[in-house]
Structure 1
Amino acid sequence: MAPNLFIFFRNLFCPIYLFQKGERLEGSITKDEHWDSPVPGTYRYIPSRGWHLIRRDDAEEDEKEPQPVVYCRIVHRYLLASDMERRCRWYTVVQEEGGEPERCLFFRLDDGYTWVIGWDKRGKFIPGPYRRWCYDKEAMTMRRMDSMSRRQAFL
């Protein structure tokens, strides 16, 4: 017996439902494109899995395993998933003076020095505008960037 009584009785009294088939797609549903960013190369769209890098421009052969590509809503462009993972770190910070420490997921910007809070403790995305943070190596903590540390970051 079918696990769903509705489906069981529908098929019993209207057997036409047993013989219907879904729409067939003609041709390949994968799509290849050449992109210049994040890495110049050929990218393939795989249904239900998204875009993947399959061949770099400077490589002779295809990648052994396609590298997934994700859209980063912080920098508004596509990044390799491995690069996205490298740029994200969990830190516990106090966002407001006198507030409680919160665990947040930080994202490192392209300069390699500046961090922004992109996700809260539950992993929910936080849309901008973003306050800038930097990692204090002496205290081993994150701190908000002031105008002096911004100048030092670019020297």
Structure 2
Amino acid sequence: MNQKMTPAQTPTPVHQFTILLSATRRGARLARLLTREQLHSWEQPSANAEQIVAELANNAVLHGHVPGRSFRLGLTVTATNTLRIEVTDARADRSPPLHPRRPSPEAESGRGLLLVEALADRWGTDLGTPAFGPCKTIWAELDPAPTA
């Protein structure tokens, strides 16, 4: 599901983590590793979140890279224990499709957003112009697992 969330709908964070990373393969790998460690310190499950961050960070490096500009990783856990993942890159002109298409079986790439769509409870794109220039944020939310 791809939808837009307005600031009025955004719940108050209980935990928050934000970091700028180089828009390189190394930066994308570091985003995944930092996600694992941060969620572990918050005692949150990390497997699906790590995979989502890996895909979004990789997309930021491959499709959102502007020379000399970084990408931002943001993790937020709300009072309802929902995890919000945000990856912001410098290419506001290159937004992902609202409904990702399945690539041909022979294609070597193009499955990342399908994976995000399958793992996240919600995901979407926000365009913005923060102090550092035009950008886009791809976000995904994971609701807490139901308790038995």
Question: TM-score higher than 0.5 here?
Answer: no
Larger proportion of strand:
1
Larger radius of gyration: 1
Relative contact order, higher structure (CA 8 A, sep 6+): 2
Larger proportion of helix:
2
> TM-score category by the smaller chain?
under 0.3
